[in-house]
Amino acid sequence: EALVAVSTNFIGDMELECDPETKQGVMVHMGMVHRMVVESCAEYFQKMRRNAYQTPKSFLSFLSDYKHMYHTKIAEIDLKASRVQMGLDKLLKGAEDVEGMKIVLADEEIKLRHAEEATNAMLGKLEKSSMDAKKEADAVGKIKDACEEDARNIAAEKADAEADL
């Protein structure tokens, strides 16, 4: 009971991340651990005929080491928890960004469809004007051929007329 009182005095003011019953259980357990170590020292002496001592100072050292280890592990857990939270926040932000990009993409797809329709209409007009230009070029080519034929005929008649003179 004295060991439990010492552990209660030493750890009672310490903040543990647990309910009061568990905290009380930890303090009782620490007293029991020291008692079991003392009993183990007696068994060791009987079996090996060598003394191993467990003093009140070693019990206080055990309590101090527990307190230090607890604070170290809580700090590590808090750090890991903050990193996990930061990762989750980044995932949520990424999901929000993706949703925003989907909206922008939908708007851009609408603009793309309108531009594609305008391009197809312009392409149709260009094909039509190209066909019209080809027809006109064919007509001009026929007229040119006719003119060249007439020029040859005139040149032939001129040559005949000059030959007659």
Determine, yes or no, domain membership for 61.
no
13 close to 37: Cβ distance less than 8 angstroms? no
pLDDT for 26-47, tens place per residue? 989 988 988 899 899 999 999 9
Q: Is residue 35 part of a domain?
A: yes
Provide the mean pLDDT of the chain. 92
Domain residues for the domain of 4 are 1-54
Counting residues of the chain whose pLDDT is more than 90, the rounded percentage is 67
- In total, how many domains does the chain have? 1
What is the pLDDT at residue 120?
95
DSSP state of 16: -
Q: Kindly state whether residue 81 falls inside one of the protein's structural domains.
A: no
Report if residue 25 sits inside a domain: yes
CA 18 – CA 74 distance, rounded (Å): 12
Q: CB within 8 A of 45, min separation 6: which ones?
A: 51, 52
Phi, psi of 127, rounded to the nearest 5 degrees: -65, -40
Tell me if 103 is assigned to some domain. no
Instruction: Please check whether residue 18 lies inside any domain of the structure.
Output: yes
Residue 46 lies in a domain: yes
